[in-house]
Each structure stands twice: as C-alpha cells, then as structure tokens.
Amino acid sequence: MPDGAVVTDLSTLDATAQAALVRGGELTAADLVDAAIERVEHLNPLLNAVITPMFDAARAAAPTAAGPFAGVPFLLKDLVTEVPGVRFTEGSVFLRDNVSGSESELVRRLRGAGLVLLGKTNTPEFGMVPACEPVLHGPTRNPWAPDRSTSGSSGGSAAAVASGMVPMAHGNDLGGSLRFPASACGLFGLKPTRARVPLGPEYGDVLGGWAAEHALTRSVRDSAALLDAIAGPAPGDPYPAPPRTRPFAAEVTTAPGRLRIAFSPRLPDGSLGHPDCLAALDDAVALCTALGHELVEADLPGLTPAVGTAIGTAFNAATAWIVEYWIRRLGRRPAPGDLEPLTEAYWAAGQRVSAADYLLATEDLQAFSRVVAEFLGGFDAWLTPTMSAPPARIGEITSTPEEPLRALERGAPTVAYPAVVANITGNPAMSVPLWRTTDGLPIGVHFLGRFGGEATLFRLAGQLEEARPWAAALDACVGDALARSRQRVSSPSLRCRSAIVS
C-alpha cells in the first residue's frame, strides 16, 4: 500500500498517468485500487458520490487487469449500465432492492480496457433532473463548495472525479447530463456522436438516439483514449456512428488549424444567461481568437416554440417509457412513495402523449436537426456557456408533493442554454473548464460540433487545455476536499483555493 503522500499524489494524476505507473512497474494495479478505495472512504462521507461500493470485487480484479488503462480505478454511474449481482437503483426508491442479472456491453468494454470498477455513483431518479439529490440516496455535494449542487444527472461521477477519488468516471447524457456536471465541477465532459458507444444488450437506443454514454475526465487525453477503447457498434445495434478515421487519442495533440466558430450569449428566448456565464463565454471567445480561430457571433437557427413543444412531448414520453419499462421488468407497479413527485408528474403527462403525438414530435425534431446540420455546414462548432447559472445550492432543485414541478421550475433556469440540441441531432458536444467565478466556482463553456465530428472537438480541446491548463485548479480542489472531509458540511465558507483563471 502506498504511503499517504503517494495516495495524495495519485489523486491528482489522470488515468493515462496512473496507467503508466503500472506499466512502468512503479506501482501495481492493487496499489492504485487500494489508494482509490482509501480516498473514497475518506471523502464519501462529505460528498456522497459513491452509493454502492464494489471494493472486494475491485481488489479481486486488480491483479489480472489488462489493457490500455490496466489497474486504473473507475466508477460507474448507477444509470443504464449494469453489473451482474450488483445493486442497480437508477436513483429511485422504486428500484431500491433491484439487483442486476446481466452485464452491459459497455461494462465489458470498460473491463477490457483494464479499468477496475470500484462501485456505482449517485444520480437523480432516472436521471431526469439537472441536480443530483435523489430521495433514495440523498444529495451529492460539489467538491468545490459542498453547499452547492454538482448539477446532474452524472453528478455523483463528477464529484468523484473532481475530488480525486478516481481520475475518470462513467456518465451518460440524455439532455446535457455529462456536460452540466462537467461545468459545475470543473471537468472535461464530452458527449459523443449518436451510437458511438453501444447501449446493449438491454437497449438498442434510448429516445431515438438522444442518450449517449461516455465519461467525465480530468484531462482531454483520457476522454479520447477511453472513447477509443469503448467505441464501435455491437452486434444487433440499430445503426452505427460514422467510423473514425484514426484513433481519437491521436487528435488531442494534432493542431486543429484555423476553425470557424460561431458563438452566442443569448438563450433561446433572446435573454442572457448569468453574468458569470457570460464572462466565461467572453473569455473563451478571446482565447479562441488569440489561438487563431475565426469567431462569429451567430444564434443557432430553428429553435422555435414548436421545437420546444416537441422536446417537451418527447421528454414526457420518455419518462412514461422509463416507468413502464421498470413496471414490466419488476413485475409490479409503484407503491405510494416509490416515485418522487416530479417523476409522478412527468409520468402522468407522458401517459397523455399518444403515439401520433410522439411521431409528430419526432418529425419536428428531425426537421430541426436538418436546420442545425445546414448551419454547421458553415461553422466547425457553435460556442455558448454550458450552463446558464453557476451551481445552485443544495436543496434548491428539488420537488415536494405539494410542489411536484418545483425541481423543473428551479432547475430549468440553470440549464437554459440548449445543450439538448446535441442529443436531438446526435452531434458530439463538449464542456471545457476554462473559467472560475470570483468565489472560485467552475463555469464551463460548450462547443457543439458537426455530426461525427469528435476529431475536431478533441483537437480544439487539446489546444485549449495546453493554452489554459486546468489541472492545477483541480489539484487545489482535490487538496481542499481532502482537508475539509472531516469538517462540517454546513460551513458557508467552504471553497477551493483556486483563483480566477485570467
């Protein structure tokens, strides 16, 4: 077992660097796993990121781990991905006693890459809220400020990576659920192209391809190398993503050339986001311009009220599908209190969506996708803030039986920039952690790429990371999280030491 100093040093290394220690014989896979378990045990009482530990299985798997990330500890979001014999709740009281009987294809690929699975991370009920505060497991707290939200729905994984428990962790994204927590926790978060990563064997796709699987990472190179390891269709998938021309890892160190990037500070209704988010956008525009790119202010066309209505119809239908799926799988209906008030409200709304309503909404969204594709024919990416407000305080984005839509009403203003466009169109998109508020909270900026265009995004992200490294800020967050893990969470002054990025 490494000594305390080594444990702390490991917490500030990305997965690529940790794997190199094992390949070079400086540490064993068991050393990495034991050190990560120690960090989880130390930090989780403060952050509540890991809700189902798999420590014994991880220790047993470490000696035989093989692959590009051999021995690197990893966490799975407790949504979609399944491990046989392990509790699988999707953040819902309805599933509190559910145990998986099969293994997801993604889990097989993660193991094949050499990653050692330490456990499952927290998520809101069925991943439907931009916060991570399920009734079943309680709130996950942001390592940068434990009185703040991690956003959602991959909030447990984001807190685990930002605090240094693990160098990267699984997440998924139906409307921004990888990118919002990346912004709130100062991480890199890429949502891949539709069907880049398989959802089988349980699902072919989810909501016509809206859902995407990947990870939250400390570094761009980790995101690219991991996507190389897990990408590609599985037998029986309904459709594939466009094939990559070469490994994504090679793109990170490749100069992007002069890109033409559109940007907008405006929300779909024409208003502006929070001043801190606008400052992050201004900074990103200036940085990209200084790096030689052409920046053009332009709003994304086609975001009409009819498209907004179609999004709502599809979302309500998706919630009804989720609940009905679990009713069929569990063989019983939810008892009173099994579903949270917001889910009950969405389920009721979804039951009123007819098959024709859903298909009409799908047609409207496919027509919108063609508008976006035409727009991006003239640009390499579209840039906005990732979130429209800094991380909310714990408890703000929650519902009650008396106010079932409270979480929607409180959460929507924090994620009002249209990250969901990437899910509707299937395009790749990323949140890049370039900015901090005056009190040290992370603010990400969001790039929407062309369909199948991860290579361009990875090239740009690698250039931005080199020009504005964010590892030092994360290292400070890790150190502060470790230092305050025994302090009272309620302290209003808990903040990371990192200064504003200038």
Instruction: Map 29-66 to HEC letters.
Output: HHHHHHHHHHHHHHHHHHHCCEEEECHHHHHHHHHHCC
Q: Which two tokens stand for residue 457?
A: 């995004």
Instruction: Map 77-137 to HEC letters.
Output: ECCCCCCCCCECCCCCHHHCCCECCCCCHHHHHHHHCCCEEEEEECCCHHHCCCCCCCCCC
Q: Which two tokens stand for residue 483?
A: 């230092």
Distance, CA of 185 to CA of 419 (rounded, Å)? 17
Q: Which two tokens stand for residue 89?
A: 């709740």
Q: Are the beta carbons of 170 and 81 closer than 8 angstroms?
A: yes
102 among known catalytic residues = no
Residue tagged active-site, from 92, 154, 177, 219: 177
Residue tagged active-site, from 92, 149, 151, 153: 153
Cα–Cα separations (whole angstroms), residue 210 to 193, 213, 413: 10, 10, 21
177 among known catalytic residues = yes
**What does residue 365 show for φ and ψ, rounded to 5 degrees?**
-75, -35
Starting at the earlier edge strand, list the strands of the sheet with 168-173: 50-53, 116-121, 73-77, 168-173, 212-217, 188-191, 429-436, 442-449, 381-385, 260-263, 294-297
Nearest to 77 by CA among 23, 134, 34: 134
77 among known catalytic residues = yes
Q: Are the beta carbons of 144 and 433 closer than 8 angstroms?
A: no
Distance, CA of 120 to CA of 150 (rounded, Å)? 16
- Rg value, the chain, Cα: 21
Q: Produce one character per residue of 234-257: b if its CB has 16 or more CB atoms within 10 Å, e if not.
A: beebeeebeebeeebbbbbeeebe
Q: Are the beta carbons of 162 and 444 closer than 8 angstroms?
A: no
DSSP letter at 387 equals S
**Single-letter amino acid, residue 434:** L
Nearest to 248 by CA among 183, 198, 190: 190
Residue tagged active-site, from 11, 77, 154, 183: 77
Instruction: Determine the 3-state secondary structure of 75 from DSSP.
Output: strand
Q: Produce one character per residue of 259-297: b if its CB has 16 or more CB atoms within 10 Å, e if not.
A: bebbbbbebbeeeebbebbebbbebbbebbeebebebee
Catalytic residues, by residue number, are 77, 153, 177
